[in-house]
Every structure is written in C-alpha cells, then in structure tokens.
Amino acid sequence: MNKTWLMEVADNPIKHNLGMKKDDFDLLLENEEVLSWFSRLEERARNHHIGDVHGSHDYRMENILGKCSILGLSKKDEPFAKCMSFIMDFLEQQVQQEPCDELNYAKLYHYRDYEKVLCCYLPFIGYHEEPVVQYIVKQRIKIIYNFTKEKRYDIYDTESIFPGVKKEWRPYIIRQSLYADGNIALPDMHDVILFAGMYTYLSKTEKDKVESIIEWFFGVGYQNIIKRYGYFYVPNDRYNAKAIIFKPYLVDLQHMDVNSIDKGDFTSLVFQVLMLAHFRTARESLWFQLAMDYLDTFRCENGHYIFPTYLITEKQDCYVIKGGHMNVGENKKKKLYREIVSTYWMEKIDQVIQERGM
C-alpha cells in the first residue's frame, strides 16, 4: 500500500497529513519548510497585516494560507489558531462593511481579495464552522449559481466601445452586468477551492447548486473563454481594464501531442485534479477521466508514481492555486523526492475520490 510506504519514508508533514497523531505540532515545526511558512504567518499576526492578499509572491496571504493548508497546519494547532485569530476578526468586520456605491477596482477587491481569496483555504484548515466562513460560502454560491444555472458562456461585451483599452483586449471585455455591484458572478479557481473545502458541510440544496456551478466548467462554451478569463472594464479608475480572476484552465487532454506539450499548461494539473475531485460532476466528466489517465502514465511497477518536475513544481514566488508550491515538506535532496511527493498527491486524489464517491 502506498500509504504504508509513505508513512515509512516521508518526512513529518506527509506523515501528519496521512494520519500521524494530530497533536504533533512541535514535530511539524521541526520541518524547515513548515517553519518557514508558519513564520510568515506569525509575522503577519504580530503586525496585524492583512494587506497583500492576492498575488504570486511568497509574502502574499493567499500563498501563506494555501501553503499552510498543504503542509497540514490547522485550527487544531493552538499556536496556529492564535496566529489566525486576527484574520478571523478582520473577516467578521469585513462582511459587515459596505463598499462605496461607485464601481471601481477597490470595490471588486473588497469582495474578491478581502472575502473570497482570504477565505478560500479556511475550510481546509478547520474553520468550516465559523459563521463568517459559512456566510461567504453561501454568498458565493448564490451569486455564481444565479449566472451559471443559465448555462450561458456569452460573458464578453462585443457591442460597446472601450476607449483607452488595448486593441487586442477589446474582444474580451467582460460584461459589466457580471460585476456591477462589485461581486463577480463568474466562478474562478478560488471559488473551486472554497467549495471543495466546504463541500462536506453543505446542505443537499447547496451541494446541488455547487455541482451545477462546477458542471458549467465542462460545457461546450467554456473552452471559448480565454485562458485569462477576460478583462474587467472600470473607465474612471487607475487602469481602464484589468484581468483579475483565474479561470480553472482545463488543458486540452483529448487532442494533445504528448511529445510537444507546453509544460506551463500542465503545472496546475495535479492541484486542479485534487480540487475538482471533490465534485461529482467533475469526476464524471471526460476531462477528469483523461486527466487521471494522463497521471496514471507516470505510475511505476511498484504502484508508486514519479511525475515529471513540471507537475510537482516548487518555486519561489509562484501561485499555490497554479501548482507552484507542490512540495509537502520533503527534503529535495532525497533520492526518492519525486517519487514520495508524486505518490503522496495521487494518494490524496484517490482518497478524495473514494470519500466523495460514497
């Protein structure tokens, strides 16, 4: 069994995630990678620094919380929960505030950065029972479902004129009706993470709505949406147009040439498969089946996996949500490094499929 082998050869974070005693926080902190990321959170807590939420840098809050989740830190660990308390206090105040009436990027960020992005990993690290987390989840389900239930993919405004916007961007300006009140109605990768972590705790009605949202990604029209999703047009702000959300990019596995793939397109694949495995509509899709088949090509005779490095990237200043921080506290100098990390991620994917498939 791969789990048994991993418990024998892996370092503490993987052992912790696979079922080692849950009161082993001190053992986790002996791991250099865990200590490094926890220290970032500690510094934030000392300074009550909420800003710099969204972005690829390692100092960004979304990467700090995402990496803490990957490494197995959670609310059950008292020192970790103590550091997290300022974030929870901020969120409770944030959802009670109303941004200005005028549409600007600050209003979009009010909901995106300081609610959704800040919240998206919280269910995975033990905060699913917090009323503020439940509130944000319910809001995102309601807002997104009201759009995706129509199974529409005509998200671009092809009729208006957009002065000051780059010519090549103009065909991909997102309809303002999809974000007029500051809440973006399009589902993005942060939403997928938020719903994946919260799925177990949703009502049947909420689960059905989430499944409908996830199904939207696999509709025929989705592939016509560009990789960057599109550009949000706010004419009176510092920038006329910006791309500010991440589309779950479903690489074309059906028509790819394995001998000439763009490795950059595959960096997020393992992380995406893990997140999408939480949803029945994703698991039943052709894309998911092809993704699992592709990952299975790296299965060894002994049942372990050895992925190419582009599937388990660990690189400074890369997005967790784009698969840029896939190490799980393993020593990169280990001879078995790739085999351990690859096998671990497949074990996690299989675990989710078995649990959700019940």
Residue 94: which residues within 8 A CB-CB, separation 6 or more?
A: 110, 114, 115
* pLDDT score recorded for residue 98: 87
* pLDDT score recorded for residue 208: 98
| 67-75 mean pLDDT | 97
122-179 confidence digits (pLDDT tens): 999 999 999 999 999 999 999 999 999 999 999 999 999 998 899 999 999 999 999 9
Q: Are the beta carbons of 94 and 139 closer than 8 angstroms? A: no
In a domain, 193, yes or no: yes
Structure tokens at 243: 């791309």
Single pTM value for the model: 0.97
Q: Is the pLDDT of residue 184 over 80?
A: yes
Q: Is the pLDDT of residue 236 over 80?
A: no
In a domain, 56, yes or no: no
| 98-106 mean pLDDT | 89
CA–CA dist 186, 229 (Å, integer):
9
In a domain, 210, yes or no: yes
Distances (CA, A) of 353 to 124, 144, 274, 282, 323: 16, 25, 9, 11, 20
Distances (CA, A) of 241 to 57, 174, 246: 22, 10, 15
| 29-39 mean pLDDT | 97
249-302 confidence digits (pLDDT tens): 999 999 888 777 889 999 999 999 999 999 999 999 999 999 999 999 999 999
Number of domains in the chain: 1
What does the H/E/C string look like for 17-32?
HCCCCCCCHHHHHCCH
Q: Is the pLDDT of residue 232 over 90?
A: yes
CA–CA dist 261, 132 (Å, integer):
42
Candidates 68, 71, 9, 36; CA nearest to 329 is 71
In a domain, 150, yes or no: yes
Q: Is the pLDDT of residue 237 over 80?
A: no
In a domain, 310, yes or no: no
Cβ-count burial of 319 within 10 angstroms (0-12 exposed, 13-18 middle, 19+ buried)? buried
DSSP state of 321: T
Which residues pair with residue 156 across a beta bridge?
174
* pLDDT score recorded for residue 345: 98
DSSP, residue by residue, 223-282: GGS-TT--BEE-TTSSSSEE--S--------SS--TTS--HHHHTTHHHHHHHHTT-HHH
Q: Is the pLDDT of residue 358 over 70?
A: no
In a domain, 207, yes or no: yes
Give the phi and the psi of residue 156 in degrees, each rounded to 5: -100, 140
Q: Are the beta carbons of 346 and 326 closer than 8 angstroms? A: no
In a domain, 163, yes or no: yes
Its domain, for residue 180, covers 98-248
CA–CA dist 349, 354 (Å, integer):
9
In a domain, 270, yes or no: no
